[in-house]
């Protein structure tokens, strides 16, 4: 795909289940096969994969979508000004000319490997010109003669332009030779006119560099003497006043550039954090670095005005609490779901397909059929797996005839036997021995806010009661901690026995037990609240909780 293609993420909910992942992969595939030129759809995930989903992806040789944790705009989503880095040895004058040409106030200073060494700003140049009264600044800055020649538009007659003026002061020889002897010292740089006697005196006083102004002719005698005394001899067309005024601009920028406590950003930084930092700093421009610390370009506050929001398609959810963080900072283009209408709001109208089916993957299957797009074996396997998972192998009351028909058709394409494959998939998902309580808790957890009550419901499915008992013993000590971390009032875990088609509920939080009783009229027995025939969170639990909460 072209490097400048517009990317759209297709992503499910946090703590993704198999349907959330498989629907994202399949729908991204469908969109890419029907997309306009220049648009690329990428499947993403908003949380860690559970063991069941890992089994599905591995079985069909499909790479897991990359993880995203925040949908907010990042530095890479705004226009980065590609101001090239400059070397630290160039002159202040050259830097100023580049600033005028590029119409910028800041230039980045980089080394030969592209790493940022410092910044030079118009303020730094103003300081060098207006606030420096030190006549030794040129030598302290170890100014290369090449810079001096360039700044004064001069010609070197004697000496090496790659050598450095690094000891002595800058003097303007306006007096007669007798007085010059009193203030010219060894290794000074002397600026003077066409007077032969002054030129001779400067050389005899061991000046390290003599600059002759106004393009004056320099005799062979002076040139020969300069060679003998190892003195650099430069001719400039500028008059003495102008040469003296310009010469500080030959100082290399490394002498004035800022190199400590630089404020930089990385391409992956989020704009909200960037804005906060920019508000605290008075700088106009800020360097951007790549993941290896190399300089990429510059951004300023005005670049934030043209920020492009990330574009997302949401699958298998439409609840803000279940969406990837900072969803308000993104542009939602489509929502494909099979749950109740949730709390998401969009800035503009979106394509919203919501059907009362057992699985989002069934809707995606229908969309392939409607568009006449062939479903590849791997995609068929993913979609079939999602339906089997969400419908608990057709046992869930959310399962419709359409779900079962779609699953069986997809199984034929994928080359699997649904019952045999589903048992292996569920068995892989119920391997809890090596997992921590936190990993088990979040493998299928959703938060809800109903009638002012904030609570979360997780669901763990297994093929045997023994496995569910092990999970209960692991999770019970963790529930209060999870509730505090999520800042919710109550937490419920559905331990669903797939073969029995029953759920054994555990809970924590003030009012949790009472809510279960009001919804199902059951009491705790042997460490569980047994909900007979309940296997669906969406269709059999949340609606009952809603009714119970409304009756308060």
Domains of the chain, by residue range, sit at 6-72+310-428, 75-90+101-126+256-306, 142-250, 437-550
What pLDDT does 125 receive?
A: 86
CATH 3.20.20.70 for domain 75-90+101-126+256-306: no
SS3 366: helix
Q: Which residues contact 471 (CB under 8 A, 6 or more apart)?
A: 432, 440, 460, 462, 495
* Tens of pLDDT, residues 71-88: 988 898 888 999 899 999
What are 432's strand-pairing partners? none
What pLDDT does 128 receive?
A: 77
Q: Give, for 266, the enclosing helix (H) or strand (E).
A: strand 265-266
Q: Is 179:186 a contact under the CB 8 Å cutoff?
A: no
Q: How does residue 2 score in pLDDT terms, banded at 50, 70 and 90?
A: very low
Distance, C-alpha 36 to centroid of its chain? 26
Q: Is 448:321 a contact under the CB 8 Å cutoff?
A: yes
Tell me what the pLDDT averaged over the chain comes to. Answer: 91
Q: Is 301:278 a contact under the CB 8 Å cutoff?
A: yes
Distance (Å, whole) CA 104 – CA 123: 12
Which of 97-101, 131-135, 447-451 is the most confident on average?
Answer: 97-101
What pLDDT does 154 receive?
A: 95
What pLDDT does 279 receive?
A: 85
Distance (Å, whole) CA 99 – CA 200: 40
Distance, C-alpha 136 to centroid of its chain? 46
DSSP string, 294-353: BEEEEEEGGGGGGPPPPEEEEES---GGGSPBTGGGSEEEEEEE-S---S---SS--EEE
Q: Which residues contact 540 (CB under 8 A, 6 or more apart)?
A: 397, 531, 533, 534
Sheet holding 66-67, edge to edge: 66-67, 39-45, 6-11, 311-315, 331-337, 351-354
Question: In this prediction, what percent of the chain has a pLDDT beyond 70?
Answer: 99
What pLDDT does 1 receive?
A: 38
The H-assigned helical ranges of 476-552 are 479-486, 512-520, 542-550
Distance (Å, whole) CA 460 – CA 494: 6
6-72+310-428 CATH, one of 3.90.320.10, 3.90.1640.10, 3.40.309.10, 1.20.950.20? 3.90.1640.10
Residue of 346 and 189 predicted with greater confidence: 189
Distance (Å, whole) CA 369 – CA 373: 6
Tell the CATH superfamily of the 142-250 domain. HprK N-terminal domain-like (3.40.1390.20)
From residue 448, alpha-carbon distances to 318, 452, 507, 542, 551 in Å are 12, 10, 15, 9, 18
Q: How does residue 509 score in pLDDT terms, banded at 50, 70 and 90?
A: very high
Distance (Å, whole) CA 286 – CA 75: 11
* Tens of pLDDT, residues 35-64: 888 899 999 999 999 999 999 999 999 999
Q: Which residues contact 424 (CB under 8 A, 6 or more apart)?
A: 55
CATH 3.10.310.20 for domain 437-550: yes
Q: Is 509:472 a contact under the CB 8 Å cutoff?
A: no
SS3 390: helix
* Tens of pLDDT, residues 358-406: 999 999 999 999 999 999 999 999 999 999 999 999 999 999 999 999 9
**Among all chains, which residue has been given the structure tokens 């331990």?**
495
Average pLDDT, integer, range 251-271: 91
Supply 55's token pair.
């089994």
Distance (Å, whole) CA 128 – CA 481: 60
The reply to whether domains 6-72+310-428 and 437-550 share a CATH topology is: no
Distance (Å, whole) CA 457 – CA 319: 14
- Measured from the Cβ of residue 369, the count of other Cβ atoms closer than 10 Å reads 12
Average pLDDT, integer, range 312-324: 92
User: Could you tell me the pTM of the whole model?
Assistant: 0.69
Provide the b/e sequence for 2-31 (b: ≥16 CB within 10 Å).
eeeeeebbbbbbbbbbbbbbbbbbbbbbbb
* Tens of pLDDT, residues 188-203: 999 998 889 899 999 9
């Amino acid at each position: 795909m072209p490097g400048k293609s517009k990317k759209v993420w297709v992503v499910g909910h946090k703590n993704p289940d198999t349907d959330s992942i498989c629907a994202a992969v399949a729908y991204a595939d469908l969109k890419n096969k029907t997309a306009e030129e220049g648009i690329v759809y990428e499947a993403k995930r908003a949380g860690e994969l559970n063991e069941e989903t890992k089994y599905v992806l591995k079985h069909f040789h499909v790479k897991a979508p990359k993880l995203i944790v925040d949908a907010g705009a990042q530095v890479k989503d705004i226009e980065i000004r590609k101001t090239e880095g400059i070397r630290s040895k160039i002159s202040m004058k050259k830097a100023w000319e580049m600033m005028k040409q590029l119409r910028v106030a800041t230039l980045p200073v980089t080394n030969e490997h592209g790493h940022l060494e410092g910044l030079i700003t118009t303020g730094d140049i103003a300081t060098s010109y207006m606030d420096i009264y030190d006549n030794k600044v040129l030598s302290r800055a170890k100014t290369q003669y090449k810079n001096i020649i360039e700044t004064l538009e001069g010609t070197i007659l004697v000496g090496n332009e790659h050598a450095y003026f690094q000891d002595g002061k800058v003097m303007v020889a306006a007096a007669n030779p007798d007085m010059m002897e009193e203030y010219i010292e060894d290794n000074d740089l002397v600026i003077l006119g066409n007077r032969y006697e002054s030129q001779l005196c400067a050389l005899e006083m061991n000046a390290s560099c003599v600059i002759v102004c106004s393009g004056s002719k320099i005799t062979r005698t002076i040139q020969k003497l300069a060679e003998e005394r190892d003195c650099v001899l430069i001719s400039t067309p500028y008059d003495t006043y102008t040469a003296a005024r310009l010469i500080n601009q030959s100082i290399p920028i490394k002498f004035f550039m800022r190199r400590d406590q630089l404020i930089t950003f990385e391409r992956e930084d989020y704009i909200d954090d960037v804005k906060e930092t920019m508000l605290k700093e008075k700088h106009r421009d800020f360097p951007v670095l790549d993941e290896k610390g190399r300089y990429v370009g510059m951004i300023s506050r005005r670049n934030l005005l043209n920020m492009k929001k990330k574009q997302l398609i949401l699958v298998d959810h439409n609840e803000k609490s279940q969406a990837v963080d900072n969803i308000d900072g993104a542009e939602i283009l489509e929502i494909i779901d099979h749950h109740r209408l949730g709390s998401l709001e969009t800035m503009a109208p979106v394509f919203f397909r919501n059907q009362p089916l057992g699985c989002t993957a069934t809707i995606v299957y229908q969309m392939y059929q409607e568009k006449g797009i062939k479903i590849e074996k791997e995609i068929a396997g993913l979609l079939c797996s999602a339906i089997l998972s969400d419908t608990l192998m057709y046992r869930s009351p959310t399962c419709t005839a359409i779900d079962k028909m779609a699953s069986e058709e997809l199984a034929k394409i994928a080359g699997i036997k649904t019952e045999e494959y589903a048992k292996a998939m569920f068995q892989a998902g119920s391997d809890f021995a090596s997992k921590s309580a936190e990993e088990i808790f979040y493998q299928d957890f959703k938060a809800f806010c109903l009638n002012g009550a904030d609570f979360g419901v997780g669901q763990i499915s297994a093929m045997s009661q023994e496995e569910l008992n092990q999970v209960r013993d692991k999770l019970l000590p963790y529930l209060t901690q999870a509730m505090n971390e999520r800042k919710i009032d109550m937490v419920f875990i559905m331990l669903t026995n797939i073969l029995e088609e029953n759920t054994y509920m555990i809970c924590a939080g003030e009012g949790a037990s009472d809510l279960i009783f009001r919804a199902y009229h059951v009491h705790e027995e042997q460490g569980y609240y047994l909900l007979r025939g309940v296997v669906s969170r969406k269709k059999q639990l949340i609606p009952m909780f809603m009714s119970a909460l409304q009756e308060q």
